[in-house]
Amino acid sequence: MQVGHRMCAGCGAPPIVNQVLRALKDEDNAVVSCATGCLEVSTCIYPYTSWRNVSFVHTAFECTSATLSGAERAYIALKRQGKLNKDKTTKFIAFGGDGGTLDIGLQSLSGAMERGHDITYVCYDNGAYMNTGTQRSSSTPHFADTTTSPAGKVTNGKMQKRKDLTEIMVRHNLPYVAQTALYGNLKDLYEKAEKAIYTNGPTYVSVLSPCPRGWGYPSDDLAIVSKLAVDTCFWPLYEIENGVYKITVKPAKKLPVEEFLKTQHRFKHLFKPENKWMIDEIQKEVDEKWNYLLMMEEKTANS
């Protein structure tokens, strides 16, 4: 097999996956379960593959977590039967976009987390069904323009707030949950991936994954868009370890959310004079979440 992938230039998914797998120790194996989506169709088109150093299983949208949890239980059984090297460690990692995670795959993800499988689920969240033409998902931000929530005379883009799956996973009482992004020197992403992979039990990591086609930004602005998402607190970086919240990046100067919004065509309509109220609404949502995290960090640190 030849090596390569066909992801779009400026896509966040390839560096996210690369950084997550870099956190895997050299002496360890990995089984990767990958949902249908941009990542799958672009990284394993015969005769090319981007998955040379791991065991890779493509599975349907709705059953990524079920497939991986089955592989994890088979691994345990084979080790118990003496059919596998007991000194060799294999880790189990799932990758899915927000459509295959927050929507179609939520039932199997929730089930795998509740059952306590020793797996790590990584959602590369680009906020829509990008693989099939930028349809809205439950992760699509409030007022974003998509092909199925178009901004125009009838509606102002997606009229619902985005689903916060990171907090939903916290309610599954997992030992480790994190939210991260392609920020700065990628230290935050690497450290959270390593912690998730090597924490016993089910873990979940949500990574903001900018999409140049769906978001509408120049392909070479990936780092700029990612950094603004964090510096405006639109996408806060934090982790919850055994119930204790920790904000891992606190911007020295919290920028107004419009600095992030104006970099993308999907929010272009928000900057019409009559639509300023939508920017104000998004700012209110961002501030409420940020204040909640500050409160939870203080509360759980002292509990």
pLDDT in tens, 168-220: 999 999 999 999 999 988 999 999 999 999 999 999 999 999 999 999 999 99
Task: Please say if the pLDDT value at position 4 is more than 70.
Answer: no
Question: Are 161 and 285 spatial neighbours (Cβ–Cβ below 8 Å)?
Answer: yes
Domain coordinates in residue numbering, the chain: 2-301
Tokens 């118990």 belong to 80
What is the DSSP secondary structure assignment for residue 117, as one 8-state letter?
A: -
Tokens 């992004």 belong to 181
Q: Give the mean model confidence (pLDDT) for residues 267-283.
A: 98
Q: Give the mean model confidence (pLDDT) for residues 43-48.
A: 83
Label residue 142 by pLDDT band (50, 70, 90).
very high
Residue 107's DSSP bridge partners are: none
Instruction: Judge if pTM exceeds 0.85.
Output: yes
Q: Determine the pLDDT at residue 50.
A: 87
Q: Determine the pLDDT at residue 213.
A: 96
Task: Please say if the pLDDT value at position 85 is more than 90.
Answer: no
Residue 151's DSSP bridge partners are: 156
The CATH homologous superfamily for domain 2-301 is Thiamin diphosphate (ThDP)-binding fold, Pyr/PP domains (3.40.50.970)
Task: Please say if the pLDDT value at position 130 is more than 90.
Answer: yes
Label residue 93 by pLDDT band (50, 70, 90).
very high
Task: Rank 40-54, 72-86, 134-148 by mean pLDDT and report only the highest.
Answer: 134-148
Residue 49's DSSP bridge partners are: 3
Burial class (CB in 10 A: 0-12, 13-18, 19+), 190: middle
Question: Are 196 and 203 spatial neighbours (Cβ–Cβ below 8 Å)?
Answer: yes
Task: Please say if the pLDDT value at position 3 is more than 70.
Answer: no
